Amino acid sequence: MDKIVIEGGVPLNGEVSISGSKNAVLPIIASSIMFDDPQNEISNVPDLEDIKTIKKLLSSLGAKIEDSRENNRIFIDSSGINNYEAPYDLVKTMRASVLVLGPLLARYKRARVSLPGGCAIGARPIDFHLNALKLMGAEINVDHGYVEAFAERLKGASITFPIPTVTGTENIIMAACLADGNTEIRNAAMEPEVDDLINALNGGGGDIKRDGHGRILIKGVKQLKRLSHSVIPDRIEAGTFMVASAITRGDITINDINVAHLKPVTEKLSGTGVKIVINSPTSLRIKGSKVIRSIDVTTAPYPDFPTDMQAQMMALMCVSEGLCVITENVFENRFMHVGELIRLGADIKVKNNFAIVKGVKKLSGAEVMATDLRASASLVLAGLASSDGYTTVSRIYHLDRGYEGMENKLKNLGAIITRVKGNSTVNQAHEEIHEENITAGEGV
Ligand code: EPU
């Protein structure tokens, strides 16, 4: 298994370009199941492990997918779908596989999707998805670890989610798109990724409106024609690079973003003392400050602070001046990175869904293990801030699920970071890093 080795303490400087959003593109790829055209086209698709997984899933259903690196486009022909099952092997590697449930049911009247089971950040059931589909007339049975769903014709319904669910909202939007009549979703997720799905569906003949207060209205249509959509930038990748600048006291310009989507993150980070300059609606510059102020963070659904940025923000708070409380309100078990940050010298205590972080003067390199995608990002960030020794982050496959070429992007900003392939040793990486430094130094 690959590892990442970092020699920290270097301020990051320069420009970085942000890739397409993982959590936007996954439902959009799933939605291609419902489009009749053989040339559905999605651009700005990031090159990630999760994208490989959803492509594999669609291929196993009978879709044909072609890649074109020009504009990072993919073409999908879903007209040959002749299998309706998302098997355990794929769902267990990526929970978002459950996003084929709504489209399969709407277009092909049936679906068999493995239950995802628990994961590293919480139980994450899909009961809200299933209850909503039942309200739309679907017959749902759960048997042998699989959800089996049938509906001769889905009917529009009035659905209120107990709490906003991102993939639940997306599944129901897709199912309702081809249902008879109108569907209203109340307490729907307001994340930009949901809006991106709505725009993609509307662009191909869907009739979906959001009223701005967590209410989404979907008029069922007979047919969706051609999917042709460019995916929004990844706000979580952008936020992660913003923290990279803050934690290394660097100066990074972040391009190809949607500044408006980043508001909850820019507002929070501003409170820590960093200087943020908005260059344009698609670019900002963030300059770290010598003193990082402690600031409390509470996660909640959009437009509040994203749970997907909690671990990265915690890494930053580890080197702040003072004490803060980080409250995780979305997932019940999203503090797995705490023990690893403590290995790097952080002072953190966890009580229920609160983490009390007392800033320390410095972090020092150590071997740590990634437990999930955003935890991996926080450990890389903490490694970049560790001012003595090497940090080795193992189980880096989590990072590859959701960050496109992260270590290369960091390297271009001046980070001393290298990937150790499965069979090479960490000592070889230390030597490599050392040699790279000497070579870099020779040029100065
Ligand atoms: N929930 C239920 N029942 C359901 C659905 C959700 O109890 O049927 C609970 C969850 O257990 C959780 C809360 O509702 O406590 C919200 O979960 P949500 O359904 O919104 O999460 P998700 O749709 O499974 C997506 C993202 C996650 C992101 C969350 C929250 C995708 C593919 N995944 O997950 O992204 O953390 O929304 O914003 O869009 C990541 O990218 O690292 C990641 C985990």
332 CA closest ligand 1 atom index: 15
Q: Alpha carbon of 5 to those of 11, 102, 153, 373: distances in Å?
A: 17, 41, 54, 17
Strand partners, 336: none
> Ligand 1: distance of its center to the CA of 124 in Å?
7
Contacts of residue 304, defined as CB under 8 A and 6 or more positions apart, other chains included, come to 264, 298
- Run of H or E residues at 50: helix 49-61
**330 Cα: distance to centroid of ligand 1 (angstroms):** 8
Beta strand extents in 115-215 (DSSP E only): 139-143, 146-150, 158-160, 182-186, 207-210
119 is catalytic: yes
Residues with CB under 6 A from ligand 1: 23, 26, 96, 122-129, 163, 165-168, 189, 307-308, 330-331, 373-374, 402
Tell me the Ramachandran region of residue 345: left when phi exceeds 0, alpha when psi lies from -120 to 50, beta otherwise: left
- Per the DSSP assignment, residues forming a β-bridge with 280 are 283
Q: Which of 101, 104, 106 is nearest to 116 (CA)?
A: 101
Residue nearest to atom 5 of ligand 1 (CA): 126
**So what's the pLDDT on residue 421?**
87
Q: What is the DSSP letter of 166?
A: H
Local confidence pLDDT in tens for the 444 residues of the chain: 899 999 999 999 999 999 999 999 999 999 999 998 999 999 999 999 999 999 999 999 999 999 987 879 999 999 999 999 999 999 999 999 999 999 999 999 999 999 987 678 877 899 999 999 999 999 999 999 999 999 999 999 999 999 999 999 999 999 999 999 999 999 999 999 999 999 999 999 999 999 888 999 999 999 999 999 999 999 999 999 999 999 999 999 999 999 999 999 999 999 999 999 999 999 999 999 999 999 999 999 999 999 999 999 999 999 999 999 999 999 988 999 999 999 999 999 999 999 999 999 999 999 999 999 999 999 999 999 998 999 999 999 999 999 999 999 999 999 999 999 876 666 666 666 666 655 544 433
Angle ∠(129,97,43) on CA atoms, nearest 5 = 110
Residue 180, number of CB atoms within 10 A of its CB:
14
Distance 165 CA to ligand 1 centre (A): 6
Give the chain's radius of gyration (CA, Å): 22
Q: Is this prediction's pTM over 0.85? A: yes
